[in-house]
Structure 1
Amino acid sequence: MTPRSAGTSAHGAELKRCGMARACLQAVKYLMFAFNLLFWLGGCGVLGVGIWLAATQGSFATLSSSFPSLSAANLLIITGAFVMAIGFVGCLGAIKENKCLLLTFFLLLLLVFLLEATIAILFFAYTDKIDRYAQRDLKKGLHLYGTQGNVGLTNAWSIIQTDPCYETVKVWLQENLLALGIFGLCTALVQILGLTFAMTMYCQVVKADTYCA
């Protein structure tokens, strides 16, 4: 084999590797974009429900006196906005094939996943303490019922005072423990899928840059 033919063969192999890398990148790119588009739309839905609750409930805030801003509406609005932001970063990173954005998406999603796992572990480890604290906090909130400056708290108690709120919630959680567990598992699987897509695409971008440089 002459040096010229060897060089041609090597160049052809490089072009082949470049073509394969680009093909893999395009496949992962569209999967990543579709996943993040659904992720973003899910965030829009959660945000919409939060805004709807805030608009329809008016000054109905919370049953907790320790965390007056911790209402269902506020939690949904914050969660929806955060999910939308993560989904947007993922979509942009996929379309632009930007390594920085892909890595940012991966780290944000990993942070959320670890935070959720930590909260779940702490919840099961300190169930009794959380149970006692929740009952004590609700009783404290009930003592503030009708007092000046606690309109949201008063409205909240007015809506649910016909039923023993804490016990009702506790029984509901116990009855739907399996459904909640399945929901949590599905959420974790979706997040792991997102992490896998992000890291796979990041590696494919690096490969494409290396072989096609």
Structure 2
Amino acid sequence: MERKTGRCGNCIVVGILAPGELCSRAGSGWLCGCGLLGVGIWLSVSQGNFATFSPSFPSLSAANLVIAIGTIVMVTGFLGCLGAIKENRCLLLSFFIVLLIILLAELILIILFFVYMDKVNENAKKDLKEGLLLYNSENNVGLKNAWNIIQAEMHCCGVTDYRDWFSVLGENTVPDRCCMENSQGCGQNNTTLVWRTGCYEKVKQWFADNKHVLGTVGMCLLITQILGMAFSMTLFQHIHRTGKKYDA
């Protein structure tokens, strides 16, 4: 009798806590996804091809990336929240599978990145240098804006160094944003007062300097995903044991 009472009590606790926790986390994810989607659409409409560095992947812009991430997060959060509210096993299982696929994809990408790091660096530099050729083209205003912002904010010039611009803008000529003291025409025929370090190394250094913060954020995301999977499967098992069907 005591054993049955204990099991019943556990079922009640799970039935109350699991849906609330899952809906809270999934709902937060849904709101974040909506926010990211809104920012991505705003970037796409107002900034055009802002931050499109790579000519090989013209669709890989900041706007498109944010829209894609926002859509995935929003749909995933919606599945989890609705599944928890409706106590629908089909939705909960879908939520679990989507989170599992995302988690596995993240792990595979991280492993591949570290295994092929040298090749990734080599190809990235090559592609970025090819992208410099589109700096002054009318259809790539976003690329020009992105380079200007990066060079001004990170105090760098070109991909590997300032000389990358010579084949694009002419001998001894760099964008004005490469100048230590920015002024109109400061980058023309004067390379003595420009930033010497390439932006690729600066960006790598930024990641190295902020690796602890980035690692903490990554761990928080990982824990959130694992908890979401755990709560969804706990609620799924609870519904299965209590005999609830695939309610709409």
Q: With structure 1 as the length reference, what TM-score do the two structures score?
A: 0.83
1:152 Cα deviation from its structure 2 partner:
3.5
Aligned to 1:132: 122
Tell me the residue number matched to 1:4: none
- The answer to whether 1:47 aligns with 2:37 is yes
1:97–1:144 Cα change, 3 Å: same
Q: Which has the higher contact order (CA 8 A, sep 6+)?
A: 1
Q: Over residues 96-126 of structure 1, what are the superposed CA-to-partner deviations in whole Å (9 max), with x where a residue is unaligned?
A: 1111110000000000000011111111111
Unaligned runs of 5+ in 1: 1-8
Taking the aligned partners of 2:130 and 2:107, their CA distance within structure 1 comes to 30
2:57 match: secondary structure: coil
**TM value normalised by structure 2:** 0.72
Identity of aligned residues (%): 50
Aligned partner of 1:153 in structure 2 is: 143
The corresponding residue for 2:239 is 205
Q: Deviations over 1:113-141 (max 9, x none)?
A: 00011111111111111111111001011
Q: 2:60 is matched with which residue? A: 70
Shifted more, 168-177 versus 94-103: the winner is: 168-177
Which residue identity lines up with residue 184 of structure 1 in the other structure? G
Aligned to 2:201: 167
Runs of 4 or more above 4 Å deviation? 13-20
Gap runs ≥5 in structure 2? 158-198
* Post-superposition offset of 1:182: 1.3
Q: Judging changes above 3 Å, is the alpha-carbon distance between structure 1 residues 20 and 173 closer, same or farther for their aligned structure 2 residues?
A: closer
Shift of 1:149: 4.2
Is 2:141 aligned against 1:107? no
Q: Are the counterparts in 1 of residues 29 and 77 from structure 2 also a CA contact under 8 Å? A: yes
Letter of the aligned partner of 2:23 in structure 1?
A: F
Cα displacement string for residues 124-177 of structure 1 (whole angstroms, at most 9, x for unaligned residues): 111111111111001011123224644443443344455333222111111111
1:190 maps to which residue? 224
2:212 to 159, 169, 178: 178
Alignment match, 2:76:
86
Give the RMSD, CA atoms, in angstroms: 2.5
Q: 1:173 to 1:16 in 2, by over 3 A?
A: closer
